[in-house]
Amino acid sequence: MTAANTMTTQAKPAPGRSYLAIPGPSVIPEAVLSAMHRPAPNIYEGELVDMMPGLVADLKRVARTKHHVAMYISNGHGAWEAALSNVLAPGDRVLVLATGRFGHGWGEMATGLGAEVEVLDFGRSGTIDLDQVNARLQADYAHQIKAVMAVHVDTSSSVRNDIAALRDVLKAQDHPALLMADCIASLGCERFEMDDWGVDVMVTGSQKGLMVPPGMAFVFFNDRAEEVRERLPRVSRYWDWRTRAHATEFYQYHGGTAPTHHLYGLRTALDMIHEEGIEQVWRRHTTLARAVWAACEAWEAEGSLRLNIEDRDLRSHAVTALRLQSPHATELRNWVQENLGLTLGIGLGMAAPGEPAWHGFFRLGHMGHVNGHMIMGMLGGIEAGLSALKIDHGPGALEAAARVIGGEG
């Protein structure tokens, strides 16, 4: 058996600007890096303290909610735990709708908190079957299910689930369960309408569509979710969203010392998003994703390359999961890394590291601070790698992508 890391290389980085095209952390804009490059600021008064109300308002604008947001110094896993800690008591039942590794991961977090976790597993290359969800909720006439947990974009499979349609299912059954969405990969990339879609709790992190280094996480919640929290007998102090979302003192936003430099980075990133306009941000991601698909579909015509999600309507606009005959995916990643300074994502949750099959999966991140020339560069790099390694692939990929980016696709 080949260990996953025996095929990685120790070569010197390729000269020139490198490009990290993995699905998180994403490319950090120079403006965000510059905003973070400063001496430690005062945390008792001044700019940083004054910045908070605007930051809160602008975060809510990205999430399209008028309700509440709590911030945490953590990664996405912390946001998962924070959200669950505020709505679940041990023994509460939750329904997890899994469409890849991240759905299962969030469910495992709930298990760790003592919840009764029921998983509907829809596999690794498709979306949620709403009829099955409907049937399960219908059978729950005693309303034991307290929350339905779904991932908007599962970054392992690159499926994009229809969160609004899930709310319709809950409505049709008149079921009171909270609807909880993981938007860690999708917020700031994909259309997401928290209030219009009736999402009660949404979690995200700083390091994907929000273009800030890993280290901050956000839990958005509405008044229904807040009522659930108020009825809980006990919420751990550190995760409690109440003081953070309704802070009256600066330290309460962060449960202690603020993530000072992240806040400056986030301020700049939110300015960039709102200057472009959130709807335009979504459109840009859609166009770039279509360019990626056009290239991949051309490559698919000959050889073993396959998109993990066949149906375009179900594909994420932020990440694309692919497969090649093993070990070509690892060979390709290594080649573009060594020769071009281009880093592609490993496969996740498709095969165990160490299994030969593991070397057949890879992923492209196209989230956040990306534009047409970066996407063309990434696709051109892959084309070069496929040719150099003599991996069979169909022709015309770059032309097809260029047509999409040029507005013809």
Site residues (vs ligand PLP, CB under 6 A) = 24, 75-77, 102, 151, 154-155, 182, 184-185, 205, 214
Rounded distance, CA 101 to CA 353, Å? 14
- Kindly state the smallest distance separating residue 11's Cβ from ligand PLP, in Å: 27
d(CA 47, CA 69): 21
Of all residues in the shown chain, the one whose CB is closest to ligand PLP is 76
CA-atom Rg of the chain in angstroms: 21
Q: Would the annotation count 363 as a binding residue?
A: yes
Q: How far is the CB of 335 from ligand PLP (least distance, A)?
A: 26
Helix (H, G, I), strand (E, B) or coil at 84: helix
Phi-psi sector, 188: left (phi>0), alpha (psi -120 to 50), beta: left
Cβ closest to ligand PLP, residue 179 vs residue 340: 179
Helix H or strand E encompassing 21:
strand 19-21
**What's the rounded Cα separation, in Å, for the pair 67 and 50?**
21
Give the nearest distance from C-beta 152 to ligand PLP in angstroms: 7
Cis peptide before 327 (omega within 30 of 0): yes
Q: Are 41 and 260 in contact (CB under 8 A)?
A: yes
**For ligand PLP, which is the closer residue by CB, 77 or 242?**
77
Contact criterion met (CB below 8 Å) for 229 and 238? no
DSSP letter for each residue of 53-108? HHHHHHHHHHHT-SSEEEEESS-HHHHHHHHHHTT--TT-EEEEEESSHHHHHHHH
Helix pair 372-388, 278-300: axis angle to 10 deg? 20
Closer of 24 and 380 to ligand PLP (Cβ): 24
Are the C-beta atoms of residues 210 and 188 closer than 8 Å to each other? yes
In whole angstroms, the minimum distance from the beta carbon of 351 to ligand PLP comes to 19
Q: State which residue, 137 or 348, has the beta carbon closest to ligand PLP.
A: 348
Within a 10 A sphere around the Cβ of 377, how many other Cβ atoms?
16
- From the list 219, 227, 254, the residue with the least C-alpha distance to 65 is 219
Task: Output DSSP code: residue 292.
Answer: H
Least separation in angstroms between residue 155's CB and ligand PLP is 3
Q: How far is the CB of 207 from ligand PLP (least distance, A)?
A: 6
> Is residue 393 within 8 Å of 303, Cβ to Cβ?
yes
155/268 with CB nearer ligand PLP? 155
Residue 154 or 200 having the CB closest to ligand PLP: 154
CB 85 within 8 A of CB 239: yes
Residue closer to ligand PLP, measured from CB, 75 or 334: 75
Instruction: Tell the smallest beta-carbon distance from residue 151 to ligand PLP (Å).
Output: 5
Binding annotation: 363
Binding residues for substrate: 363
